[in-house]
Structure 1
Amino acid sequence: MTFDTYETLALACLVLLLGYFLVKRVKLLSNFNIPEPVVGGFIVAIVLTVVHEIWGLSFSFDSNLQRTMMLVFFSSIGLSANFARLIKGGKPLVMFLVVAAMLIAIQDTVGIFGSMALGLDPAYGLIAGSVTLTGGHGTGAAWAETLTNDFGISGAMELAMACATFGLVFGGIIGGPVARFLLTRLHKEEVPEDENVDDVQEVFEKPVYRRKVNSRAIIETISMMAVCLLVGQFLDELAKGTAFQLPTFVWCLFTGVILRNTLTLVFKFTAPDQTIDVLGTVGLSIFLAIALMSLKLWELAGLALPVFVILTLQVVVMATFAILVTYRVMGSDYDAVVLSAGHCGFGLGATPTAVANMQAVTAHFGHSHKAFLIVPMVGAFFIDLLNASLLKFFVEVAAYFH
């Protein structure tokens, strides 16, 4: 059965509503910050897999709509990257970017050589590496398409969604224990509740937006996103077959960065950050819903155990890296503990997981202004740029061993 654009959009919205309903009512899902599209999408994918196994029916959805929503999301990431915030973060933010880059390199190295040791194509190791762990569901789904085209592997999309979900769960699980272990070194005691007051005027999880969502802000945001898609597609065609060839979404992201900061710095334009965030989230939600509806889970059967071994190793690597590298590089103090817990969150999962990890620590041991400035900024804005740049190199490495 084939569904056209309108049918695909309608079904994707139903998947999202199912996910919202379940996450709201199942505490386990909300505690681990599992995204609504992932919850609803996986349930639908399982149902469609059962239908396929019993009646032999297969379903296909509009891939153009899925791809457009993916590009909208990554354009929003680029449009959110404000250079002024990078300057505000200063040296600690740059140091944390370096730490994040080191983890990406380690994840991809472990993934590539781990997959080869287990008899898999090294491209599968990239999917079980920074593509889905540091990258998350959106980046995982985007690179799955590229790796399928470049390496001819099967089940890449299904594997990417499974790996990203695994990372999301374990990113939330290990953050607390890592922080507890590091806190024993500091002999840090819990802060009484009346002293645990955060007096920050503006923090990431409760930002003060200068512009509200209205029709003008929406039109301006859609206009900027349209430019990102148009220029991104043009640059993608221009770079094909050259040393600068990258996935289309990376060009859209880069275009967004340049466009946002040019408008802000040169023309003194006040970007509608809240609207960019809202429309980007909508794009990601619809994209993930369609991607997950399209999963062919039966193609994962032969990959499940080897990939699980690699992912388990990645969890150990993340915890060890947070303790031995992130904590020490970031100052070996309380702020470094909170940063390490946050790094576990987005190093395996996503920025919301990182924020949840940090909140769990600061709720008992006091606030950390430094951590709440740096981790969300790196996790939400700069990590996708960094990951895309480093993945270009590791894709070449995987191709060499292919």
Structure 2
Amino acid sequence: MNHELSLDLVQSSVLAGVLLILGEFARRRVGFLQRFSIPGPVIGGFLFALLLLVLRQADVATVEFDTTLQEPAMIAFFTTVGLTGSLSLVRKGGRLLIVYLLACWTLAVVQNLVGIGLAEVLGVNPLLGIMAGAVSLEGGHGAAAAFGPTAEAMGAEGATAVAVASATFGLVAGSVLGGPLAGWLMKRGKVRVPTLVTASTGSTTTVVDQGSDTGSDSGSDTGRGPETENAEESGSAGYRKLLSTGVLVGVIMVLGTLLGTWFSDTTGFVLPGYVGAMVVAVVFRNLNDRFGWVRLDSGTVDLISGLTLGFFLTMAMMSLKIWELYALALPLVVILAVQVLVLVVFVAFVVFRLLGGNYDAATMAAGMMGHGLGGTPNAMANMDAFNSRFGVRSERAFLVVPLAGAVLIDLVGLPWIVWCMNWVG
């Protein structure tokens, strides 16, 4: 007997929060989840979606959610992405950053073209090819959950499920292939590991006694110690930063949504509100860098980014209709297999050489395999494992890869995705 359950706004939101906590807990405790850098929201939400699939196939129950808050959280997340898009970072990163960033942008272009072309050959909606392209691979689960519903609204049934499945495949493939490819490049190019130079210097350590009996009654006249006062001051400062940053994010969200609506109505070219918000945020960030209107606290921006990403991604995962993948299984496998092959060839025979063909280049090759198929955490894990093998850390790689892969890539990647979706849709 099939029971139809319908969760309201509060119930759906609380469920998403619980699944997010469980997913983060599992990520920290389960070895292979941590090793492949699978995000907590994906773990909790996707496992729940699998449970719903089982209940549906067994004709036990179907569940409907109220996902009203998913879109505002998504727009807030992309706003925080835009607030980190300072163009001055490109100048600070030097030649390697520029080369690596151009390679990332080129890869985004190629992945969408490959996806669209193969979708046409295989007889599926080309929008699904984009979902199995830059949306899910360089974009990761965040972009997959964001662009999937947009593609479905444009007529691509099952687009969200395709995008999420592709992103999950990419996370695993990028983590598995990064280290071996970098090692092969080292051996093939006879790359020498740089010598680790250390210098010995004298140092003086000062020990401060913070818990002596003589100072234990400090502040006893008021009944509150300095620790309490400091905690209150810190909490008040944190509240003010969160309030001001949150309001700023909210204002940019409104402006970005209005921009997206106006642009779509004026040109007929679909510009999702979250992309409009990111564009407004990038413009504001770089004008603010120039004129110093407000002081942006990066820690608070990161906090809002993490919370909104976790919430909207979990909600997107838990409401997935996995059964919509059945008819697309074979075409999706073919598209993803070709995408992996293209990336391996691109990294091995183009990017590695352009970056100098040295130890830093090999490390960044491992990183590009990570975020070119999965995400920046995968890139960092790949590079860390590769460098640990040789005992030498590539500081240049650890500066360049996160700047390009987590921040600057979206300056071209997201507009290109939007253009492609309008082109084929």
Instruction: Normalising by structure 2, report the TM-score.
Output: 0.86
Question: How big is the shift at 1:51?
Answer: 1.4
Partner of 2:224: none
- State whether residues 192 and 358 of structure 2, in contact with CA within 8 Å, keep that contact through their aligned partners in structure 1: no
Match for residue 241 of structure 2?
217
Q: Deviations over 1:234-264 (max 9, x none)?
A: 1112111344541111111111112223233
Pairing 1:101-140 to 2, within 5 Å after superposition: 101-140=105-144
Deviation at residue 268 of structure 1 after TM alignment: 5.8
Counterparts of residues 142-161 of structure 1 (less than 5 Å)? 142-150=146-154, 152-161=155-164
| Greater Cα offset, 27-36 or 181-190 | 181-190
Residue 353 of structure 2 is aligned with which of 328, 353, 356?
328
CA distance in 2, matches of 1:77, 1:282: 13
Q: Percent identity?
A: 37
* Number of the residue aligned with 2:363: 338
Superposition pairs of residues 104-253 of structure 1, within 5 angstroms: 104-150=108-154, 152-188=155-191, 214-243=238-267, 245-253=270-278
The one-letter code matched in structure 2 to 1:289 is: T
**How has the CA–CA distance of structure 1 residues 196 and 50 changed in structure 2, closer, same or farther, with 3 Å as cutoff?**
farther
Secondary structure, counterpart of 1:59 in structure 2: strand
Shift in Å, 1:140: 1.1
Offset, 1:5: 2.0
**What letter is aligned with 2:168?**
T
Give the counterpart letter for 1:383 in structure 2: I
Which entry has the higher C-alpha Rg, 1 or 2?
Answer: 2
For 1:86 and 1:270, how far apart are their aligned partners in 2?
21
**What amino acid maps onto 1:54 in structure 2?**
A
Shift of 1:191: 7.2
Q: How does 1:1-400 map to 2 (within 5 A)?
A: 1-55=5-59, 57-150=61-154, 152-188=155-191, 214-243=238-267, 245-267=270-292, 269-365=294-390, 366-399=392-425
CA contact (8 A) 1:38 1:288 kept: yes
Q: Is the 8 A contact 1:70 1:142 kept in 2?
A: yes
Given that 1:79 and 1:259 are in contact with CA atoms closer than 8 Å, whether structure 2 keeps it comes out as yes
Of 260-269 and 177-186, the range deviating more from structure 2: 260-269
Taking only aligned residues, the RMSD between alpha carbons, in angstroms, comes to 2.1
Q: Is the CA contact 1:196–1:367 (under 8 Å) kept in the aligned structure 2? A: no
Asked if the contact 2:261–2:271 (Cα under 8 Å) also holds between the matched residues in 1, the reply is no
Is residue 76–residue 308 contact of structure 2 (8 Å, CA) maintained in 1? Answer: yes
Does the 8 Å contact 1:196/1:363 carry over to 2?
no
Contact 1:264-1:270 at 8 Å conserved across structures: no
Q: What amino acid sits opposite 2:181 in the alignment?
A: V
Contact 1:136 1:164 (8 Å CA) reproduced: yes
1:151-175 CA-to-partner distances (Å, cap 9, x unmatched) read: x121111111111111011111110
Structure 1 unmatched ranges of 5 or more: 198-210
In structure 2, relative to structure 1, the CA distance for the partners of 1:119 and 1:184 (3 Å cut) is same
**2:119–2:125 CA contact under 8 A, matched in 1:** yes
Deviation at 1:189, TM superposition (A): 5.3
Q: What is the CA-CA distance between 1:195 and the residue it aligns to?
A: 6.0
State the number of aligned residues.
384
SS at match of 1:55: coil
Contact 2:53–2:323 (8 Å) recurs in 1: yes
Mapped contact 1:86–1:93 kept (Cα < 8 A): yes
| In 2: Cα distance, 1:303 partner to 1:56 partner | 25
Normalising by structure 1, report the TM-score: 0.90
Q: Cα distance, 1:19 vs. partner? A: 0.8
AA aligned opposite 1:220: S
How many angstroms apart in 2 are the aligned matches of 1:195 and 1:29? 35
The Cα of 1:303 is off from its aligned counterpart by 0.7
